[in-house]
Amino acid sequence: MDIQALKDTFEFFDDWEDKYRFVIDLGKDLPTLETSQRVDENIIRGCQSQVWLVHELRDNTLHFAMDSDAHIVRGLISIVLIALNDRSPAEILATDIEALFDELQLLSHLSATRGNGLRAMIQRIRQVAGAAN
């Protein structure tokens, strides 16, 4: 799924409950990380749930893999990866993901702690992109 398909799907649903279920469904398709990758050094601090991030730089493109122990967070990870995965570090740093969240009305429908966790994910991805840029 690309960003436009994500936006189109969000527009299709009339209420947030349906959108919430869609986000959870997105997370069901997210590949799980290997147990060996679910280590402290890969944990993203600031998330209510446990979230792990691993990355690899290939041909000036960052590839991320992420996982969580919470279904809704796995869905949020899917949205983040749709927006930022397999892009150059410069593209990641230039992406206004907050604008995407605003367009989807995502943060206004999440608890404050989930919103902070989502921001922590973005901050960590931006740190990785900044170091690779």
Catalytic site positions: 47
Angle, nearest 10°, between helix axes 97-104 and 71-84? Answer: 130
Angle at 86 between CA 106 and CA 110, to 5 degrees: 15
What's the CA dihedral at 40, 119, 128, 88 to 10 degrees? 140
> Can you point out the beta strands (E) in the chain?
51-58, 61-68
